[in-house]
Structure 1
Amino acid sequence: MSNLEAGRTSVQLVWNDGNAGGAGRPVAWALGELSAALTQKGVHCTTSPTPTGPASLTVEVLTAQEAQGRIGGAEPPAAAESYLVHPDGERITVVGADATGTVYALLELAARVTHAEDPLPALAATRVESGAPAVPVRGIVRSFSSVDEDLPWFHDRTFWTEYLTWIAAARFNRFHLALGMQYNYGADKNGATDNYLCFAYPFLLDVDGFEVRAEGVDAAERDRNLETLRFIAAETKRRGLRFQLGLWNHAYDYGRDSVHRYPIVGIGPDNHADYCRAAIAQLLRAVPEIDGLTFRVHYEGGIHDENHEVFWSAVFEGADSVGRPLEIDMHAKGVDQALLDAVDRPMLSPVLSAKYWAEHLGLPYHQASIRAREAAKPIPPGHSMKGITEFSRRFTRYGYGDFLRDDRKVDLMFRVWPGTQKLLLWGDPAIAAGYGRLATFGGSRGVDVCEPLFFKGRKGSGEPGKRDPYIDPELQLGGHEWIKYRYTYLLWGRLLFDPESDPEVWRRHLRATYGTAAGDVETALSSLSRILPLVTVVHGVGGSNNGYWPEVYVNLATSARVQATHYAFDTDDPKNWGGVSPFDPTTFYAIDEYVADAARGAVSGKYTPLEVAGWIEDLVTEGRKALDRARAASDPTDAQVRRTLIDLEVLVRLGTFFAGKFRSAVDYSTFRATGDPRHLESALAHYRPARDAYASILDVVDGVYQPDMRFGVERSEHGHWSDRLPEIDADVAALAEELAEASPDAARSDLPPVPPRPVEPGVAHVQPPHFERGAPLSLTLEVLAPDSVTGATLHYRHVDQSESFRTTAMQPSGDGGLIGTIDAEYTASSYPLMYFFDVEHRDGGRAMLPGLAPDLSNQPYLTLSALPGAAG
Structure 2
Amino acid sequence: MDPSSPTPIVVAHPAHSPPVYFAMVALEQALRQAGYAARLVDHFQAPRKVQVSIRIGGFDRQVRDIPAEGYRLLRGQGGLPWVSVVARDDAGAMYGTLELAEQLRRRGSLEAVPETQGAARLGFRALKFNLPWSSYRMGEPMTLHMETCRQHAFWLALLDMMAVNRFNALTLWNLHPFPYMFRSREFPEACPFNDEEMKQWQALFRFIFRAARERAIEPYVVWWNIFVSPSFGQAHNSVSGVPTDGIAPGDTSELVARYNRQCVTQLIDEYDDLAGIGVSLGERMSNMTPEQRQRWIEDVVIAGMKAARRPVKFIHRAPFTADPVLLRQALDRAQLTEAVYVEYKFNWSHGHSTATLAITHDVSPRPPGTPPKIDDRYWNPPPASYRMAWMVRNEDFFILRWGEPSFIRQHIARNSHDYVAGYFVGSEGYVPAREYAHVAHPHRTWTYAFQRQWLFYMLWGRLLYDPATPDAVFEAELERRYGAGVGRDMLAAYALASRMPLRLASFHGATWDYTLYSEGFLAPYPSLGLNDGASPFISIDEFIDHRTLDPAMVNIPDYVKALADGTALPDGSITPPALADASEADSRQALRLVQRLRGTPGQRPAEFDCELDDLETWAHLGLYLADKIRGGVALHTYRTRGGEAVKESAVAALQRCVGHWNNVCRITGGHYQPVPYFQRQGVSLMFAWGDWTDQVERDVQIAMNA
TM range (shorter): 0.7 to 0.9
| Cα gap change, 1:635 to 1:311, in 2 (>3 Å) | farther
Provide the rounded CA distance (Å) in 2 between the counterparts of 1:735 and 1:562.
Answer: 17
Q: State the alpha-carbon separation in 2 of the partners of residues 46 and 80 from structure 1.
A: 26
Asked whether the 8 Å contact 1:13–1:31 carries over to 2, the reply is no
Pick one of 472, 475, 493 that aligns with 1:507.
475
What residue in structure 2 maps to residue 808 of structure 1? none
| 1:611 matched to 2:601 | no
CA shift in 2, pair 1:658/1:304, >3 Å: farther
The aligned runs of 1:53-72 (5 Å cut-off) are 53=47, 58-66=51-59, 68-69=60-61, 71=62
Distance 2:602 2:198 in 1: 46
The 1:16/1:355 distance shift into structure 2, 3 A limit, reads: closer
Q: Which residue of 2 aligns with 1:99?
A: 90
Once the two structures are superposed, what CA deviation does each residue of 1:138-196 show, in whole Å capped at 9, x if it has no partner? 2122221356322323222222223212211111122222223xxxxxxxxxxxxxxxx
Are 1:47 and 2:68 an aligned pair? no
Question: Helix, strand or coil for the counterpart of 2:703?
Answer: helix
Which has the higher mean CA deviation after the structures are superposed, 593-602 or 249-258?
249-258
| 1:310 CA displacement | 3.8
Quick one: structure 1 residues 39 and 51, their matched pair in 2 at CA, closer, same or farther if it must change by over 3 Å? farther
150-159 vs 647-656, which moves further: 150-159
| 1:833 alignment partner in structure 2 | none
Q: How many residues align?
A: 665
Alpha-carbon separation, structure 2, partners of 1:443 and 1:505: 29
Whether the aligned pair in 1 keeps the contact of 2:654 and 2:699 (CA below 8 Å) is: no
Aligned to 1:308: 293
Per the TM alignment, residue 402 of structure 1 is displaced from its structure 2 partner at its CA by 3.3
CA deviation vs aligned residue, 1:11-65 (integer Å, no higher than 9, x gap): 32223567xxxxx33234333442354356662322122574587x622223342
Match of 1:172 in 2: 167
Return the match for 1:354 from 344, 350, 354.
Answer: 344
Residue 158 of structure 2 is aligned to residue 163 of structure 1: yes
In the alignment, the residues of structure 2 paired with residue 726 and residue 323 of structure 1 have an alpha-carbon distance, to the nearest angstrom, of 61
Please, what TM-score do these two structures have when normalized by structure 1?
A: 0.70
Pick aligned residue for 1:276 from 243, 260, 267: 260
Whichever residue aligns with residue 465 of structure 2, its letter is: F
Give the conservation status (yes or no) of the 8 Å contact 1:525–1:623: yes
Q: Which of 404, 407, 427 is matched with 1:431 structurally?
A: 407
| Offset at residue 597 of structure 1 (A) | 1.4
Q: Show the 5 A alignment for 1:228-243.
A: 228-243=204-219
Matched, 1:702 2:669: yes
- From 65, 75, 79, the equivalent of 1:77 is 65
Distance of aligned partners of 1:208 and 1:575 in 2 relative to their CA distance in 1, 3 Å threshold: farther
> Aligned to 1:734, what secondary structure does the other structure show?
helix
Whether the 8 Å CA contact 1:251–1:302 is kept in 2: the answer is: no
Structure 2 residue corresponding to 1:688, chosen from 628, 633, 655: 655
Shift of 1:658: 0.7
Match of 2:227 in 1: 251
Distance 1:561 1:522 in 2: 37
Q: Separation in 1 of the partners of 2:207 and 2:563?
A: 61
- 2:591 aligned residue (608, 624, 629): 624
Return the offset for 1:83: 1.3
CA displacement at 1:627 relative to structure 2: 0.7
Q: Structure 1 counterpart of 2:341, which letter?
A: V
Radius of gyration: which is bigger? 1
Q: Give the direction of change, closer, same or farther, for the CA distance of 1:471–1:635 in structure 2 (3 Å limit).
A: farther
1:378 Cα deviation after fit: 7.4
Partner Cα separation in structure 1 for residue 431 and residue 45 of structure 2: 53
Corresponding residue of 2:233: none
| Residue correspondence of structure 1 range 773-784 to structure 2 within 5 A | none
Equivalent residue of 1:65, what SS?
coil
Q: Which residue of 1 aligns with 2:149?
A: 154
Find the aligned partners of 1:411 and 1:301 in 2 and give their Cα distance.
25
2:503 to 531, 534, 545: 534
Aligned residue number for residue 626 of structure 2: 659
- AA aligned opposite 1:151: M
Q: 1:297 aligns with which of 264, 281, 304?
A: 281
**How large is the RMSD of aligned CA atoms in angstroms?**
3.6
The TM-score with structure 2 as length reference comes to 0.85
Q: Distance in 2 between matches of 1:733 and 1:256?
A: 48
Partner deviation per Cα, 1:458-489 (whole Å, 9 max, x = no partner): 9xxxxxx9752112343546742222122221
List gaps (5 residues or longer) in structure 2: 134-141, 231-237, 245-250
Distance change in 2, residues 1:270/1:58 (3 Å) = same
**How far off is 1:536 after superposition?**
0.6
- CA separation of 1:115/1:561 partners in 2, compared to 1, >3 Å: closer, same or farther? closer
Aligned residue among 594, 598, 611 for 2:559: 594
Tell me, yes or no, if the aligned pair for 1:520 and 1:630 is still in contact at 8 Å. Answer: yes
Query: Whole-Å Cα distance in 1 between the matches of residues 703 and 621 of structure 2?
Result: 21
Instruction: Say if 1:436 and 1:497, in contact at 8 Å, map to a contact too.
Output: no
Shift of 1:355: 1.2
Summarize the Cα distance change of 1:125–1:635 in structure 2 as closer, same or farther, 3 Å threshold: closer
Task: For 1:67-146, list aligned pairs within 5 A.
Answer: 68-69=60-61, 71=62, 76-88=64-76, 89-91=79-81, 92-114=83-105, 118=108, 121=109, 123-145=110-132
CA contact (8 A) 1:555 1:724 kept: no
Structural mapping, 1:453-852, within 5 Å? 455-456=429-430, 467-476=435-444, 479-515=447-483, 516-540=485-509, 542-554=510-522, 563-564=532-533, 576-584=542-550, 586-604=551-569, 605=571, 606-633=573-600, 638-713=605-680, 718-738=686-706
SS at match of 2:188: coil
**CA spacing shift, 1:255–1:583, aligned 2, 3 Å:** farther
What displacement does 1:635 show? Answer: 7.3
SS in 1 for 2:458: helix
Q: Shift of residue 325 of structure 1?
A: 3.2
Give per-residue Cα distances to partners, 1:699-736, cap 9 Å, x unaligned. 11224212234344488964211222222222211211
SS in 1 for 2:129: strand
Measure, in 1, the Cα distance between the counterparts of 2:112 and 2:25. 22
Displacement of 1:230: 1.2
Gap change, CA 1:163 and 1:400, over 3 Å in 2:
farther
Answer whether contact 1:549 1:716 (CA < 8 A) is retained. no
Q: In 2, Cα distance between the equivalents of 1:378 and 1:550?
A: 25
CA-to-aligned-CA distance 1:281-302 (integer Å, 9 cap, x gap): 1111121222222221123688
Residues 1:14 and 2:4 are matched in the alignment? no
* Cα offsets for 1:182-238 (capped at 9, x unmatched): xxxxxxxxxxxxxxxxx22112211001133354x3332222112211111111111
Distance 1:300 1:509, change over 3 A: farther
**Structure 1 residues 315, 12: CA separation in 2 closer, same or farther (over 3 Å shift)?**
same
Classify 1:130/1:310 alpha carbon distance in 2 versus 1 (closer, same or farther; 3 Å): same
For each residue in 1:53-94, what CA deviation from the matched residue of structure 2 results, as whole angstroms up to 9, or x when unmatched? 587x6222233424x05x5xxx64332211111111442221
Q: Residue type matched to 1:350 in 2? A: V
